[in-house]
Structure 1
């Protein structure tokens, strides 16, 4: 089968880098960027792929120089692993139905404070990870 945008083919992982994996398809090598490996965030691609793995890929682009862009996650559309959280609102109401207004308010304030502390901690860690301020 020829390489055309939109084709889904089987390929072999020939090399893995920090930014993606090179996959050989139809005698040519293309890149699966780390963002195209899974529907979920991929921190370390080596936890998902190994060299010589057989993978199903979709051709998502071929540029003028002949560079081939591939996607594993688009080749497997039925395997959507990311779904919004489902909340059972009835059970949430039942949990708080027996609580007084003051108890509900104190619970809300406690949870809000915990969330704010987490946000501040994450912001501080992002700030300290960059260049030093002068």
Structure 2
């Protein structure tokens, strides 16, 4: 499903947990599907995700990344905690700064130039022929 711009990073959504894996919780909200990585379940260490959430549970989650190329949406419970750790302030900066590029798209945009720089470096400094 191509992202249709109806949701954006920072939106708070009502989600339903549809599946659990050791690395995170799969959720659905409207016509969308997403993942809440185990590191985004809560600020403190999570040993077993099954101790905190269950399939069928409905709750609030915040959109933290949208990968338009692979149609993947990442969400977080952690950013909605009353007193989240430092990362919340960093994410808040990104949400409120529309010129700040985060996510997979900027990485893809820069990958070609980074590769060229690395090849050039290897040719000049390391003496590798190419």
Matched, 1:69 2:74: yes
1:43 is matched with which residue: 47, 56, 79? 47
Query: Per the alignment, do residues 2 and 48 of structure 1 end up closer, same or farther by CA in structure 2, a change over 3 Å counting?
Result: same
Q: Structure 1: state its 5+ residue gaps.
A: 83-134
Q: CA deviation at 1:9?
A: 0.7
In the TM superposition, what whole-angstrom CA distance separates every residue of 1:10-46 from its partner, at most 9, and x where no partner exists?
A: 1000000010000101221100000000111001000
What does residue 20 of structure 2 align with?
A: 16
> Quick check: 2:42–2:81 contact (8 Å CA) kept in 1?
no
> Quick check: 1:36–1:72 contact (8 Å CA) kept in 2?
yes
What does residue 29 of structure 1 align with?
A: 33
Alignment TM-score, normalising by the size of structure 2: 0.57
> Quick check: 1:23–1:30 contact (8 Å CA) kept in 2?
yes
Report matched runs for 1:1-134 at 5 Å.
2-63=6-67, 64-74=69-79, 76-78=80-82, 80=83
Task: Give the length in aligned residue pairs.
Answer: 80
The structure whose Rg is larger is: 1
Query: Which portions of structure 1, spanning 4 or more consecutive aligned residues, are displaced by more than 6 angstroms?
Result: none
